Amino acid sequence: MIRNISILTLNDLAITIKNKTILLVFFIPLFVFVTLKLVDSKPAVPEKVKIGLIKNEIYDQKVLTSIKSAPGAFAVSDIADLEEGKELIKEKKIDALLLKSEVLIVLKRQSITTLTVLESFQALQKAVEGRNVNWISKVESLIVADVQKQSLPIWILMLVLLVSFVIMPSQVAEEKEKKLLVSLLQTPMKEIEWLLSKVLVCMILICVSLVFLHMISDMKIGFNIHYILFLIIGSFCFSAYGVLLGFLCRNQATARTLGVIFYLPHLLPAALSEYSAKLSSVAPLVPSFQFIESVKKIIFEQSTISQLSFELTYLAAIGLLAVGLSYYLLKRRWLM
């Protein structure tokens, strides 16, 4: 009995090593470790806080003098009017805009940038006056939404990546493993037809999951053609990405492993970038960051497709590149 159990256990371990599942045992803890190293252990204080001051506003002289006399802590920008200041905040060219009524306008109240700005003002005020009365009487956020709606872009990204990196690679690898793909290609069906059908299936699954998410949740955003078009382009990008991952694998187990390996680095840095200065510098390296940031701009800032032309082109280019590479591997009968 013990001998049989031992043989079966060793056999299962050997299969785990053969199909690369063992990589997850090492990759997931390693990725968590690296991510925690990137996340700031304490609120990061940048060299300078980019603060905007409106030219014609009459500020408290003590506050104005203190800000301008601390060039190492604040980078002051002269703003023509309130509307220009709001646009600069949305474009993240300045961190906050100070009004004469001691009101501070920020992009998002619950963010590391806002926390850093407030801490910098508090430290400056304490150094000048030596007491704990804040110069800032009120903080106004340009993005006003409840917690559920603010979490919507993260849930959207999770669904898109789950379908693209977990479901689709396994499905492609299954057809390769069971020789179904080879059989199909012996019919009059062309390679590009099969490839485009797989991308289309993945896009449909993503769209169905997103529609269901909006139906069962209270996070209604209404009909927005720019939102719908961008989700379609984003689903095309990651669907093509997922098909390519499936082509790189010989069997389903390897595809699931590779999918998870790609899933985590695309999810966590993009989702947590606004809470960490270090992650915000790493996150733009993955296409998921461009996707989630654009979704946020459309939902919270009412941005349009024309204003997101770079992000749209970037995601479309990634999708077309993935389709091209998949077609090349398909023509070469990669791992078939």
Query: How far, in Å, CA of 283 to CA of 78, rounded?
Result: 30
| Structural contact between residues 73 and 48, judged by C-beta atoms closer than 8 angstroms | yes
**pLDDT for res 242:** 94
pLDDT tens profile 161-203: 988 998 889 888 888 888 888 887 788 878 888 888 888 988 8
Query: pTM (2 decimals)?
Result: 0.71
Residue matched to tokens 């990137």: 38
Residue whose pair of structure tokens reads 């999810």 in the numeric block: 267
Q: Terminus-to-terminus CA distance in the chain, angstroms?
A: 39
Which residue segments constitute the domains of the chain, with CATH numbers given? 2-34 (no CATH), 49-141 (3.40.190), 147-331 (no CATH)
Strand, coil or helix: what is 335?
coil
Burial of 190 (0-12, 13-18, 19+ CB in 10 A): exposed
Q: For residues 118 and 121, give the distance between their C-alpha atoms in angstroms, rounded to a whole number.
A: 5
Q: pLDDT tens digit string along 212-260?
A: 887 777 666 666 888 899 999 999 999 999 999 998 988 888 898 899 8
Q: DSSP for 133-160?
A: --S--EEEES----HHHHTHHHHHHHHH
For residue 71, how many C-alpha atoms fall within 13 Å in the half-sphere facing its CB? 0
Residue 16, pLDDT above cutoff 70:
no
